[in-house]
Structures are given as structure tokens and as C-alpha cells.
Structure 1
């Protein structure tokens, strides 16, 4: 039922090269592939290192693996010496049906551990890896930029947060999207008008400051205080298929809804599927999220209409799910695909801490 957007990435060269379907995730930085899909022999452009990785994600999934230096091809761009983790110890939910994950955030999130010996084909346990000296590795996109192959930016046009069920979901245009690596503004066939530009305030996640939340014409401010371990109170994340919101925001949204709508949203957030026929999306409110703009610019208000925070035919024809998830604490909102689905979105790390640009899609 998940709606992760994936892209085809070729890893390795020659006989060992594999075309892999990787989750495109701006909320993490490691590039990792399952050893069930790619278990390379050394040589011919593939080199072992003394680095291992143990990565955990917000949904509870995790992996441990060896960091190799390998050849990576994405579209028409081929990079060498790109760090790739071969994940040999992963939770069942880690890759969610894909072959791996392509983290697109900053180097500060790409933790690794330096170990006394090479980590492939030998395999250190997760606990052994974590006894090594902590360091970071250069993420794939940054490595390709360092090699002068492209700019450190990417663009998305997404349409769904959960796969739309039907007779042929693989060919349904709502289940497809566009991913541009190394650019975005030049693709004028994908958007219209000018960009709204939100500031990125820390070089780890695409960290933003959520200023306020709106329910139709009601606006309420959001505290700028981040939760422990977060540099800001929110991030924009292509790898999360819901809006993950703290208890204060959830309470304000629920209190603004009529009783019948409130009960449906609570049921869905509690794990129940909702029949499509119970939802008249024409009477549900539009949500909006205002992010801090760049210096000298304006704050950015982004709308999430009900057809984006409710997903009809979500994994099963006739059944719907709310793409809103309650977080345990305030100060760590994750603005995932429901926000992005209404926009053509560019994540641009080429200057300073970076910016996120939003335009109206064609």
C-alpha cells in the first residue's frame, strides 16, 4: 500500500552491474542496496573499504552493511568511487519492496564507522560496526557533484502518497512521477509560474521552520522550538508518505473539524481503512503549511487539499486512508508526499545551506 517513489540506478560495472529500483529519500543520506539484490565481487571498479554503516529510520526500519566504493549510473550520469552500502542485515520493512534506498540529504546524516579491517566480503555484526570510530561518508549526490558531473540539486513531480489500486496500478499515471537529478528549473514543461522559496536552516535533513498551520481560513502559529535531536521544527521529506504532525497540531486540526469528519480522521489515524463512500472530499477543508522563506523574501504557504491528505483506493479499491500520522512529540513535523504532491518541488543544495522551491505543476 505504500507509495514510495523509486528510481532506477545501475550499480557496478561489467558482468556484475545491476539495475536496481531505489527509494528516493530526501530525509536520509545513505545509499544502500540489499545484498539479496547486489552482492558484488571486488575489482573492476568495485573496492572494499574499512567502513561500515548502521542506519535507523523514523518508521523503525534499519540496516547494517559494508560501505564499498563503486561505479553508479543514474540516467546519463556515471560516477566512480561512489560510496554504496551493501546491506546484509536489515529489518523486513527497510526497503519496502524496493531494492534499496538512495538518500538525497546532506553529509551530516551519512554516518559510518571506521573499523580495523575491510568490511566486505567479511561481515561485521551491527554491534561490532558501532564499536568503530564514528565518521561520515560523502552521499551519492554530493559525490557526483564533487566529480563535476552535475549540480547538487534534484526535482520531483509526485502525485500520490499511496499506490492507487486498480486493474493496472503499474500503468496508472497517478502512480507515476518525475525525478530530475542535477537540475529542475529548466524543465518548464512540468511547472508554471514562479517558485515560492523556503529556507533550509541546517545541512542534515532538508530542515525547515514551520511557522503556522491553516485549516481553511483558520491559521494558528507553531512553536519554532525543535524536539530533541532535531535542528529545526520540521523537514520536507520525499521518503515519507504522510504528514507526520505533533500532538498540538493534530489537536488543532481535529478541533476544527465537524464531529463526523473528526471521527473518520481519528479512525484512519488509528489504523482503520475508511470506505471511499464515507468520504465526500468536497466538504473537507484544505490544510496549509507556512514555512520560513529565504532572507529578504516572503514566507511560503503551501496548500494540501483533501484529495492529497486523503488517499482513495489506497492499496485496495474502494478503501481510503488518511495520509496524516500523529507524532509522539511536538517540534519534529515531517512534511512528506501529501505536501509535495500539490507542487513541482526542487531541493537545491548548491548555495549555502540550500533552499526548497515550490511551483504549480502543469
Structure 2
């Protein structure tokens, strides 16, 4: 029925209660249409899900995970020889890649027949968007699943460059694995694949690992010295070590989920993001996760294929920032301004980072705070202190990220006394970038665009609990370049459209919420 498929928009409800303020959409996976609450992340491109019997507690409640993906029950699952590894700066994972059916719809979609691909996919409201044979990564360990909090994984909305996988077929075949596939996962325990002899499947290899390790120890010292690093015992629990192993395998980029939707003609090449908070709004410590999710402040929208037509969500004109590179949603931050204080120039990205990070700022829906570079953060504190010395001790606890789990007494805050913080960017310009034109000349042709972050956004009241408050402007993350991460506090109060159809790299449009 391919002729009946039409590109359309899909307005998907999202909530922030599963991932400590980050927003999740519910997808349906596999032949059983298993529910999975996945974090919406423009800072990555991978579709990844965890397997778990029980979630950690949401606020103060333990929750049985009804949404976990159970690959053993998925009749549509196809194994591959691919593996992926992603490190988010704080947390990460590795694991096998499979393919299966992935669906997304506007509401809860209780009608299982709606997910049946034998039915025509028509241009109908509430009809799910369905992709068959969609690449899906599965987290390899319980420890790595903690990266996602109480969410079930991540839906990366970034570009394809960030969706790398590695083909282990030749490696597994050379070590007598048959079939040479990555699911079930052959690297769960510390193993030395060089000693594998004719095992018929990955699971039996893992079960017999203790014997192989004994055989390995019996080898001569000369043999051990001649082994390559990747032939020594290792497991995928060590992300750094396993990444080094993967880098030696053939790379294969996978088409990200949203890109595949657009390429199949199911939706236009843009999406909109609507959120009101960067921390869960908790007015009562006894509220259940469902009660928290029913709070309008903890809800939002993901609009696939559009945004501008949803005039119920915004007012006034859109302000457009050009995306400078399609690795991340890279933008150029020129300055920040605290109230009426003088603007604080934002330094350019250090030259040593340009090859991999491209610009001095990225827009990241998967970040629940704004992380400024260290010089910008120091200047921000100085400007706030110039307005009122009383601000300084209130901010001081949040120098440590762990303070986000504690907060301060909200009664100490009078947000009417706190200033707006204005972020100014290089905006869009007509036409495509001219590669033969000097960058400085091109930048001078681009208008400055300012986006305001209100005190109610960079301070979150009733977070992490009733009567508490959290400051959502952080200093530079450890081991991160001098690049500002523009997370939810800047996006809150706006309808934000990521329009990837404009130019070669796209634009980001901001309009004030109604």
C-alpha cells in the first residue's frame, strides 16, 4: 500500500518523570508492541533500549517495569553482526544491534491492530508511524542501564554521523563463532576470544569461559607477550577498553530513526520540541509516577514533521538560528548577558577541538541543565553578584552536580529579584554558505538572535522535592571542550523547531510559548 503513504505531522505527548527532568516519548517495539519510554536527545543519534525486570524508584516509588523490551519475545527480531558503543560524558553503554519493528503514535495507541503492518498506512490522525527492520541497540549490562535512570533508553534525534556501529562478523568468524552475530551478546564476561575453539553459539562460549581462562593461564609467557591487546581477556563492562576494540573493526553508519522516517516519506525533515520544565515538578512527596506525569508542568510535546501549524503552542514570530554543522546541532554563541549588565563575550571553540566538536555551543534536548564553559560561568557569577551579593551563597552549593539531587530551601528565593539571562547567537542568513567566502565575512552577514532564559527556567522550584529549588546553570563538565551545552532551561518557555530541511545543515527556530 506504499502509494497511500503520505508525509504528515505527528503530535506525540512526552513527559519528564522517568529521566530526572529529561523528556521521554513512548515508542512501541517489536511484534508485541512493547512499550518503551525513551529519552529524546538531540545530542545523539542512536536508538537504544534496555532490558530490565524492575525499574529504580521514580521519586520515592519503586515501579515494576512494564515497558521493558524483551527481545526473546519479539518474533520480528533479526540479529546482526553489528555492535555499538556510546559515551554521553556522564554514563554510557555498549551492546548488540538488532532490527525490529518500531512504532510511534500520538496517544497511547491501545489498539494493537494499529501496529499491524498488513494494514494500510493511511494519512489518518492518530495512525502510528511504523518502521520495519529498524536498527535497535540493546544495552549489554544492568550497570550500564543506570545511564538512563528510570527511562527505558534513548531516542537519538541527531544526525547520522553520530550513529556509528561496528561490524564484528569477520572477528567472530575468525574465532569460530557460528553464527557470527552479536545477539546474544558474546562479551558480557571477561573473556579471551583468542582461545575460542569451534563453539556453536555465543551463550555456550560465555558459560564455558572459566575453562578457557584456565587454558589461557597455562600458555607460555612467550605466547602471552605476543598477544595483541584485543586478544587479552576483556569484557564490555569497561567502556573505554571495549571502544578501543571496536575501533579496530569495520565501521558502518546506521540510519537514525528520525532520518529513516523522513527517507521513507512518512514525515517531513523537521521536528518541534515543547517543554515547560527541566526538573520534575514535585508538589507532594507521596505522588505516584502517574500522578506526577499528569501534572501539566511535567508534560510536553514532540511534533514530528512540523511545528509552525500548532499555533495553540506559541505566540509571536520565530527567531531563527543557523545550525553550523550537522554532527551535533552546532550553533555559534556570541555572548550572554545577565540582566542589564554588560554582555559577556563567548570565546570561540579552541582550535584543538574543532575537528571533532565544530562550534562553541550545541543545542541538546537531552541535557537537563545549561553547562557553560568555565570562563563564561565565572563571568556569569560575577555579573549576578554585581546585581545582588545575596545571590552568591544561594548558587554556591550547585558548584557540585550532586547538589541537583538535594536542592536548597525554595523559601530563600525571590525570583522577582533575579534577572533574565540573554543568550545571543549568530542567526540565519539567506542562501547557502559559500565555501569560498571568508568565514568572518559570512558571519558579518548573519543577524544576531537573542533567546531569553527567565529566572523561572534557570531556577526550578519544587525540585528535586516539594519546597526545594535547583539552580540549572552549571560550569564546564569534566573532560569536555570549551563548548556550551544548551539544554532544557533555554528551551523551556519556547516552541523550538529543529528544521533540518533548510540549507545543508538546518536551522533552529524559537518562538515564545502561549
TM-score (norm 1): 0.94
- For the pair shown, the structure with the greater C-alpha radius of gyration is 2
1:85 paired residue number: 137
> What's the CA shift string for 1:204-249, capped at 9, x where partnerless?
1111110111101221221222472311100011100000011111
2:8 paired residue number: none
Deviation at 1:186, TM superposition (A): 1.6
Deviation at 1:123, TM superposition (A): 3.2
Residue pairs, 1:45-84, within 5 angstroms: 45-59=76-90, 61-75=91-105, 76-84=128-136
Moved more, 289-298 or 156-165: 289-298
Secondary structure class of the residue paired with 2:325: coil
Q: In structure 2, how many angstroms separate the alpha carbons of the residues matched to 1:214 and 1:278?
A: 24
> What's the CA shift string for 1:20-79, capped at 9, x where partnerless?
1111111111010002222324985322121100110022x1111111121111112111
Residues 269 and 322 in structure 1, CA contact (< 8 A), matched pair in contact too: no
**Structure 1 ranges of 4+ moved more than 6 A:** none
Moved more, 267-276 or 338-347: 267-276
1:276 paired residue number: 410
Secondary structure class of the residue paired with 1:307: helix
Residues 428 and 447 in structure 2, CA contact (< 8 A), matched pair in contact too: yes
Normalized per residue, which structure has more strand? Answer: 1
Deviation at 1:316, TM superposition (A): 0.9
Residues 35 and 69 in structure 2, CA contact (< 8 A), matched pair in contact too: no
Q: In structure 1, how many angstroms separate the alpha carbons of the residues matched to 2:89 and 2:510?
A: 25
Q: In structure 1, how many angstroms separate the alpha carbons of the residues matched to 2:453 and 2:260?
A: 34
Residues 496 and 510 in structure 2, CA contact (< 8 A), matched pair in contact too: yes
Deviation at 1:299, TM superposition (A): 2.1
2:505 paired residue number: 353
Secondary structure class of the residue paired with 1:248: helix
Residues 270 and 304 in structure 2, CA contact (< 8 A), matched pair in contact too: yes
Query: What RMSD, in angstroms, separates the aligned Cα atoms of the two structures?
Result: 1.8
Residues 349 and 358 in structure 2, CA contact (< 8 A), matched pair in contact too: no
Normalized per residue, which structure has more helix? Answer: 2
2:493 paired residue number: 342
Residue pairs, 1:162-311, within 5 angstroms: 162-167=279-284, 168-218=291-341, 219-226=343-350, 228=353, 229-257=356-384, 258-270=388-400, 271-272=402-403, 273-296=407-430, 298-311=447-460
Gaps of 5+ in 1: none
> What's the CA shift string for 1:90-131, capped at 9, x where partnerless?
525311110111000001111211111221124345325454
Secondary structure class of the residue paired with 1:5: strand
Secondary structure class of the residue paired with 1:282: helix
Deviation at 1:259, TM superposition (A): 2.0
Evaluate the alpha carbon distance shift between residue 131 and residue 42 of structure 1 in structure 2; reply closer, same or farther with a 3 A threshold: farther
Q: In structure 1, how many angstroms separate the alpha carbons of the residues matched to 2:131 and 2:145?
A: 30
Q: In structure 2, how many angstroms separate the alpha carbons of the residues matched to 1:259 and 1:287?
A: 17
Give the paired residue count. 359
Q: In structure 2, how many angstroms separate the alpha carbons of the residues matched to 1:135 and 1:246?
A: 33
TM-score (norm 2): 0.67
Q: In structure 2, how many angstroms separate the alpha carbons of the residues matched to 1:118 and 1:131?
A: 17
Q: In structure 2, how many angstroms separate the alpha carbons of the residues matched to 1:122 and 1:317?
A: 43
Secondary structure class of the residue paired with 1:212: strand
Secondary structure class of the residue paired with 1:159: coil
Moved more, 118-127 or 204-213: 118-127
Evaluate the alpha carbon distance shift between residue 29 and residue 330 of structure 1 in structure 2; reply closer, same or farther with a 3 A threshold: closer
Moved more, 336-345 or 162-171: 162-171
Residues 208 and 292 in structure 1, CA contact (< 8 A), matched pair in contact too: yes
Residues 213 and 221 in structure 1, CA contact (< 8 A), matched pair in contact too: yes
Q: In structure 2, how many angstroms separate the alpha carbons of the residues matched to 1:72 and 1:4?
A: 21
